[in-house]
Structure 1
Amino acid sequence: MNHPRSVEEIAEDYRARREGLLRALTEDVEKFWSLCDPDRENLCLYGEADGQWKVDLPEEEVPPELPEPVLGINFARDGMQRKDWIALIAVHSDAWLMAVAYYYGAKLDKEGRQKLFKQINSIPTVYESVTGKVKSANGSKATKKRKVTEPTADREPKAQASSKPLGIGRLLTQNDVNLDLRGRQAELFWPDDNLWYLIEIQNVNVRQNQARIMYTDGSTEELELEEIIRDGHMSLITRD
């Protein structure tokens, strides 16, 4: 298994694992709840590098390949208010995410660690998202500079969208920002809706790091790509 080494790779790993944990505590919370049977042994919640999550026993290997999440999350499930239990798991999930990121980043220099923390700190924590301390579950900051011509940003979703990416693409990177993006199909995540919208990239301003996109309902939007890339909010559909 190749571990992430650069700041960008570690930050992307953090975002993917966070996405999995957040899904477990929000979208898949009923399934997560049912898996955390207090009659079972010590269980842990893991966020996977591919954006998935799992509830499982701790690793038997000592020391483990990665820092372990908090043990025994299932034991308190029926002894607390449900929302308080979810919030507690979220806090421990944030601590685990930081532990994994800095485990990978142990060999970074001072500037690298500062850059890594800045990227991580720009994203709402799992706790903030789960408890509503931020506007949306996956961080509304990326939408602040968006300008939708029609319909408005608080519209009812009418464009083609889904709760999960289609699975036929990859996250947009800064290296992708060039004129070849024009005409490409992609999916754009809206934190306020918690949905992935199918879009077409109409134009790209490489110098200003901006793109004009069109939804399937014909509405258009100007995007600040730096934030979109940083927060992992665009999946570029790969060509055959």
Structure 2
Amino acid sequence: MDGGGQYNPRTVEEVFRDFKGRRAGMIKALTTEVEEFYQQCDPEKENLCLYGFPSEIWEVNLPAEEVPPELPEPALGINFARDGMQDKDWLSLVAVHSDAWLLSVAFYFGARFGFDKADRKRLFTMINELPTIFEVVNGTAKKSQKANHSSTKSKSNSKGREQDSQGRYSKQQPPPPPAIKDDDEEGLDDEDDDEHGETLCGACGENYASDEFWICCDLCEKWFHGKCVKITPARAEHIKQYKCPSCSSNKRARP
């Protein structure tokens, strides 16, 4: 493991950067790389933990041997519950424990290097601006995910496609707020604009940006950065029904 003796972020910004890196790695394990994560969590093995590292990679491994460990340890034995629960419930459980571990590591560094009340508050505020891993895994990060339902239906209709500011067809993009509203839209307020702006990637949990390529899963209706799920705009044009890695893995036959 990358113990505290090897890597010690000492400022609020460094601890937050460490938090984001570990979080990104764990989100990969539970979303875009979930098939590999599932296979590594073999219930026949010993107690295993899910680790996230500042370099945005993840690892399933045994806990640290030293007592006490250099860093707080993740939840132990996540592999034992794998076959006793529905996939979605198991991933949600691991996500919750992962969120708790990330906070414990961040505030461990804060305590170790003497963060005062103001620093701790600033660190928590920065962390709290990001959706939790649980929210990313379950698609509840923002209420705007629900608002995408109607746009998801229309994205497969080529007659209704519109081009965005980059000239790309927007059938794989979260629709931007309309610049001009018709008379029958006068009842809509700024909340619609906010919802579009709050769309989050189901893989990395980051916000939607108009200059990035996105694609929506036709099953769970979550939006993803194309780069996060390894889908290019050219490839997307030939996909009739896109299924994200999580939905694809959930379709496998279970014993």
Aligned with 1:113: secondary structure?
helix
2:224 to 193, 207, 216: 193
1:84 to 86, 89, 108: 89
What is the rounded CA distance, in whole Å, between the counterparts of 2:169 and 2:92 in structure 1?
A: 29
Matched, 1:131 2:138: yes
What is the rounded CA distance, in whole Å, between the counterparts of 2:213 and 2:66 in structure 1?
A: 37
What is the rounded CA distance, in whole Å, between the counterparts of 2:47 and 2:213 in structure 1?
A: 35
Q: 1:115 corresponds to which residue?
A: 122
Letter in 2 for 1:126: I
What is the rounded CA distance, in whole Å, between the counterparts of 2:29 and 2:170 in structure 1?
A: 26
Letter in 2 for 1:122: E
Unaligned runs of 5+ in 2: 1-5, 144-163, 174-202, 204-210, 216-222, 235-255
Larger relative helix fraction:
2
What is the rounded CA distance, in whole Å, between the counterparts of 2:133 and 2:169 in structure 1?
A: 24
Letter in 2 for 1:193: F
Deviations 1:25-62 (A, max 9, x none): 00110110011111111000000110000000000011
Matched, 1:53 2:32: no
Q: 2:237 corresponds to which residue?
A: none
Letter in 2 for 1:46: Y
Deviations 1:99-140 (A, max 9, x none): 00000111101100000000000000000000010259xxxx
Letter in 2 for 1:8: E
Letter in 2 for 1:61: E
Letter in 1 for 2:122: K
**Using a 3 Å threshold, how does the CA distance of structure 1 residues 72 and 7 change in structure 2: closer, same or farther?**
same
What is the rounded CA distance, in whole Å, between the counterparts of 1:154 and 1:101 in structure 2?
A: 39
**Using a 3 Å threshold, how does the CA distance of structure 1 residues 6 and 190 change in structure 2: closer, same or farther?**
farther
Deviations 1:65-115 (A, max 9, x none): 100000000001000111000000000000000000000111101100000
1:34 to 24, 34, 39: 39
What is the rounded CA distance, in whole Å, between the counterparts of 1:110 and 1:190 in structure 2?
A: 40
What is the rounded CA distance, in whole Å, between the counterparts of 1:24 and 1:72 in structure 2?
A: 16
CA shift for structure 1 position 63: 0.8
Larger relative strand fraction:
1
CA shift for structure 1 position 151: 3.9
Look at both structures and tell me which one has the larger radius of gyration over its CA atoms: 2
Q: TM-score, normalised by structure 2?
A: 0.57
Letter in 2 for 1:117: F
Aligned with 1:66: secondary structure?
coil
What is the rounded CA distance, in whole Å, between the counterparts of 2:84 and 2:42 in structure 1?
A: 12
1:149 to 147, 158, 165: 165
**Using a 3 Å threshold, how does the CA distance of structure 1 residues 39 and 116 change in structure 2: closer, same or farther?**
same
Percent of counterpart pairs with the same letter? Answer: 51
What is the rounded CA distance, in whole Å, between the counterparts of 2:132 and 2:167 in structure 1?
A: 30
Letter in 2 for 1:85: W
Unaligned runs of 5+ in 1: 137-147, 158-163, 165-186, 198-215, 218-240
Q: 2:70 corresponds to which residue?
A: 65
Q: 1:11 corresponds to which residue?
A: 16
What is the rounded CA distance, in whole Å, between the counterparts of 1:189 and 1:134 in structure 2?
A: 20
Aligned alpha-carbon RMSD (Å): 2.8
Q: 2:190 corresponds to which residue?
A: none
Letter in 1 for 2:39: S
What is the rounded CA distance, in whole Å, between the counterparts of 1:150 and 1:194 in structure 2?
A: 16
What is the rounded CA distance, in whole Å, between the counterparts of 2:171 and 2:11 in structure 1?
A: 39
**Using a 3 Å threshold, how does the CA distance of structure 1 residues 40 and 9 change in structure 2: closer, same or farther?**
same
